[in-house]
Homo-oligomer: A and B are copies of this chain.
Amino acid sequence: MVTTPQQLRELVAAGEWRQPTAGILDDFQQANLVIVPAAQAWDLLLFCVRNPKVCPLLAVGEPGEYLLSAGNTRFDVRSMLPRYRVWHHGELVDEPYDLKQHWRDDAVTFLLGCSHTFDGPLRRAGIPVSHQAPPVYITNIPCVTAGKIGGPMAVSMRPVHHSKIAVATGVTARYASGHGMPVHYGSPEAIGISDITAPDFGVYPGLEEGYVPVFWACGVTPQIVLPPLKPEWMCSHYPGHMLVLDDSVDFFSLQQG
């Protein structure tokens, strides 16, 4: 039983935890990862700033920096996420459990908030969510372009009983660092999702009678919009396999307000 984020990060770094991080430590800030060469960093930073619900920035590193701080957590970005993805020229070449052999001196790390972050607050508001990694879909909602970077938003989905939709909206609106309030309720087709049972990533949890699919912006989006630009090199977390930080769910969302 993992009881603290630090313990989880140590297990991960030792190769003893390779699972998703949904359903555990859900009262702590969890984070998406994207790493690009310094030459692409300006466009990506601008993309994050222009799409704050999609890419809520928690930390940005200096070129080559892999020992990073976010809030009160110091971590090695190369080894403290359970799994990674690596692209060369837009082609997925590896899905390793460690980034050390892939690291570059010009690598700029972007750490983005994750919707796992509000699973705890939703639970305490009477809206329990699945302990499996939430399903993630590529939509037809366009992101705001920055330089060459643009394209469709990825979203995560949680089924919410129709009587609880306002509560789910109100609770998640408080957590900008968890992507904030939903971007869509109801019809998946309206946002370009043709088959709700077949997510691009994660696990479809089913939709019982009376439940409505509710969609939040997702930090997997950079993994969708960057590879078509064929950057020489880029890395990310493996969807659902997040960095878990020591600060509580409220910490980062309160930084802004």
Contact = CB atoms under 8 A, between A and B. Distances in A.
Copies in the complex: 2
Interface stretch (A45-53, A224-232, A241-249): A45-53
A50 B111 CA distance: 12
Given A41-B42, A42-B45, A45-B45, A255 B57 contact: no
A214 to B, nearest CB: 15
A60 interface: yes
A256 B49 contact: no
Contacts of A48: 49
Interface string A28-68: 00000000000001100110111011001100101000000
A126 interface: no
A50 B45 CA distance: 12
Interface residues of A, number: 24
Nearest to A57: B49
B42 A255 contact: no
A104 interface: no
A256 B52 contact: yes
Interface in A54-100: 56-57, 60, 62
Nearest to A50: B60
Contact of A53 (B60, B62, B255): B255
Interface stretch (A133-141, A150-158, A174-182, A197-205): A174-182
A46, A48, A57, A257 interface centre (most CB from chain B within 10 Å): A257
Interface of A: 41-42, 45-46, 48-50, 52-53, 56-57, 60, 62, 147, 173-176, 180-181, 253, 255-257
